[in-house]
């Protein structure tokens, strides 16, 4: 299981494929709040911590590719 304390503001979130998903704004309970500047609709979106595979090389890596991760944002 991922340690949420490893996730910090402004970290890039990428899919397992390495493609960009978003940028961490901050943690909100068991979710990662992404910056709205990175969003196509200009709103904040959230990604559940359970979707994170690891924190590696200063990036949050999801368990799925970027398209699947983007589809899970809420």
Ordered by where they begin, the domains of the chain are 4-72 (2.30.30.240)
pLDDT tens for the chain, 74 residues: list them.
789 999 999 999 999 999 999 999 999 999 999 999 988 899 999 999 999 999 999 999 999 999 999 999 99
| Ordered strands of the 20-28 beta sheet | 45-48, 31-34, 20-28, 12-14, 59-62, 52-56
Contact 46, 57 (CB under 8 A): no
CA distance 16 to 72: 14
């Amino acid at each position: 299981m991922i340690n949420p304390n490893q996730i910090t503001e402004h970290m890039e979130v990428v899919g397992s494929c390495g493609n960009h998903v978003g940028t961490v704004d901050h943690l909100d309970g068991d979710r990662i709040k992404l910056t709205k500047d990175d969003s196509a609709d200009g709103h904040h979106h959230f990604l559940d911590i359970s979707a994170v595979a690891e924190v590696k090389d200063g990036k949050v890596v999801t368990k799925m590719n970027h398209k699947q991760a983007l589809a899970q944002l809420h």
